[in-house]
Amino acid sequence: MRRKLFFFICLFCSITASVSFAETKINESFPEIERSGEEAKRETAIKLYNLGVEYAKGSRVEKDRKKANSYFRQAAEIGLPEAQYNLGRAYFDGDGLEVDRKAAIEWYKKAAEQGFAQAQYNLGVIYQNGLGIKQDFDSAVQWYERAANQGFVLAQYNLGMLYITGAGVGKNPKRGILWLRKAAEGGYGQAQHNLGTVYYEGIGVRKNYPEAVQWFAKAAKQELGMAQYNLGMAYYHGEGVKKNPQKAVSWLKKAAKQNLLIAQASLGYIYVTDRNFKNNLAEGIFWTKKASAYGNARAQATLGIAYLIGKGVEKNIPEGVSWIKKAARQGNYPAQSMLASCYENGIGVKQNKVLAYALYLHSSPYTEVAMEERQNLEKKLSKDEIVKARSINIEKLFE
């Protein structure tokens, strides 16, 4: 059965900020400016804004957010979009000011209407998530589009994901992929990973494993854990790239070191079960235990088997059954099939062939082993026992 790829969708990229101008000398006096009109106002606003940046950063003067915001406000009131944005962010985050989402939105809008892409993007996030304002996907899309058309990759990404998933907007994978590709080509790692997933799963396009691998590789080089995991699994299974187990575990290990549980579980499974890595058994147990401790069902099932047969650990049947039960309780079908085998043969539990049949029945649509074992066990049970087994609520059993 083809592995199911994990599709991490991040529709809420955090509101970030910080636009800075060229450094200026700290001079808080304002001599008369010979030029007049709009040009003079802008020069004054830029000077005020730069002073705000200096006090916000605290690199050449003592950091003082209140003073920074005072300068941002003066520049913002003159009409400088960078200052309007930074003042809005200060209100939104409560940075030197009391949190006031309404005021933040007002200042963001002033900057956004002047074409400031970061403010447009932030408004998109605010409307999409209903942060201090009523949730409004149409307004979110409008602001995202304005920022996206300026090449702002986070807006391109969020817009693409909204159209691909249809979250609050009409589902339009073709349009979504267009924006996702723009963000990916702009170097945004999450967009590169998700575009790879689109091609791997065939979401709105024909499946294309080589194309998927190319995008996974780009994102993986940016240290994106899920991309490293998916690239590793592609190398392991030979999907879209020549099979290469060594490259596979190299990428999986990178992801595992980032504490990605699925990568730790997969790396552990490969090291424990693949004969090509028999010298890595101890490391396999290490990663398996690590992922198991944090609740990864696949790792728990692997660890359970290791204890049952004494592979890489001292044989301990009760401990093995305990881990298999933990995995089975999470809905892991191979673990449920293993647990069925334990009940059928009385391994670490009291023999109960009726319960074994019920477990095989529950997991057989998902694992060939369970289906085969169910058919074999069925021949050994009476009709009454089969009826009884079919009446067992497996989901309730694991509550």
Q: Which of 137, 153, 186 is the last residue of a domain?
A: 186
Residues 93 and 149 in one domain: no
**pLDDT on residue 10:** 41
| H/E segment holding residue 77 | helix 65-78
Residues 125-156 as b/e (b if ≥16 CB within 10 A, e otherwise) read bbbbeebeeeeebebbbebbbbbbeeebbbbb
Q: Say if residues 132 and 126 touch (Cβ distance below 8 Å).
A: yes
- Greatest alpha-carbon span in the chain: 102
DSSP single-letter state for residue 276: G
Report, as an integer, the average pLDDT of 10-25: 37
Structural domain contains residue 67: yes
pLDDT tens digits for range 36-73 = 578 889 999 999 999 999 999 998 899 999 999 999 99
For residue 132, pLDDT over 90 is answered with yes
For residue 217, pLDDT over 90 is answered with yes
**pLDDT on residue 3:** 56
Report pTM. 0.86
* CA pair distance 220, 245, nearest whole angstrom: 17
Smallest CA-to-CA distance from 277 within 314, 302, 249 is with: 249
Structural domain contains residue 54: yes
Residues 100 and 132 in one domain: no
Q: Which of 111, 129, 154 is the last residue of a domain?
A: 111
Report, as an integer, the average pLDDT of 92-97: 96
Structural domain contains residue 71: yes
pLDDT tens digits for range 257-310 = 999 999 999 999 999 999 999 999 999 999 999 999 999 999 999 999 999 999
For residue 9, pLDDT over 60 is answered with no
Structure-block tokens of residue 68: 């920074």
Structural domain contains residue 63: yes
**pLDDT on residue 20:** 30
Structural domain contains residue 98: yes
Structure-block tokens of residue 362: 């529950």
Q: Say if residues 209 and 201 touch (Cβ distance below 8 Å).
A: no
Q: What percent of the chain has pLDDT over 70?
A: 91
Domain count for the chain, please give it: 2
Dihedral angle, C-alpha 158, 164, 166, 172, nearest 10 °: 120
Q: Say if residues 227 and 205 touch (Cβ distance below 8 Å).
A: no
**Sequence-distant (≥ 6) Cβ neighbours of residue 51 within 8 angstroms:** 24, 26, 28, 71
Q: Say if residues 237 and 3 touch (Cβ distance below 8 Å).
A: yes
Report, as an integer, the average pLDDT of 88-107: 97
| 96 Rama class: left (phi>0) / alpha (psi -120 to 50) / beta | left
* CA pair distance 269, 290, nearest whole angstrom: 12
Residues 80 and 133 in one domain: no
Question: What band does 17 get if pLDDT is binned at 50, 70 and 90?
Answer: very low
For residue 26, pLDDT over 90 is answered with no
Residues 101 and 63 in one domain: yes
- What would the DSSP string read from start to end of 125-194? HHHHHTSSS---HHHHHHHHHHHHTTT-HHHHHHHHHHHHHTSSS---HHHHHHHHHHHHHTT-HHHHHH
Q: Say if residues 148 and 155 touch (Cβ distance below 8 Å).
A: yes
Question: What band does 340 get if pLDDT is binned at 50, 70 and 90?
Answer: very high
* CA pair distance 3, 64, nearest whole angstrom: 53
**pLDDT on residue 36:** 58
Q: Say if residues 83 and 72 touch (Cβ distance below 8 Å).
A: yes
| H/E segment holding residue 317 | helix 317-329
* CA pair distance 83, 78, nearest whole angstrom: 9
For residue 25, pLDDT over 70 is answered with no
What is the span of the domain harbouring residue 124?
115-186
For residue 27, pLDDT over 60 is answered with no
Q: Which of 186, 208, 236 is the last residue of a domain?
A: 186
The rounded mean pLDDT for the chain is 91
**pLDDT on residue 39:** 86
Residues 47 and 61 in one domain: yes
* CA pair distance 245, 249, nearest whole angstrom: 6
DSSP single-letter state for residue 98: -
Smallest CA-to-CA distance from 189 within 14, 18, 8 is with: 8
Cβ burial of 231 (10 Å; 0-12, 13-18, 19+) is buried
Residues 95 and 137 in one domain: no
**pLDDT on residue 341:** 97
Amino acid of residue 258: Q
For residue 323, pLDDT over 70 is answered with yes
Structural domain contains residue 88: yes
For residue 15, pLDDT over 80 is answered with no
- Which residues in the chain belong to E strands, given as ranges? none
Structural domain contains residue 346: no
Residues 147 and 86 in one domain: no
* CA pair distance 118, 108, nearest whole angstrom: 9
pLDDT tens digits for range 169-188 = 999 999 999 999 999 999 99
Residues 106 and 140 in one domain: no
Residues 148 and 176 in one domain: yes
Structural domain contains residue 160: yes
Q: Say if residues 218 and 195 touch (Cβ distance below 8 Å).
A: no
Residues 90 and 137 in one domain: no
CATH of the domain at 44: 1.25.40.10
* CA pair distance 114, 267, nearest whole angstrom: 51
Residues 136 and 168 in one domain: yes
* CA pair distance 91, 123, nearest whole angstrom: 14
Residues 119 and 105 in one domain: no
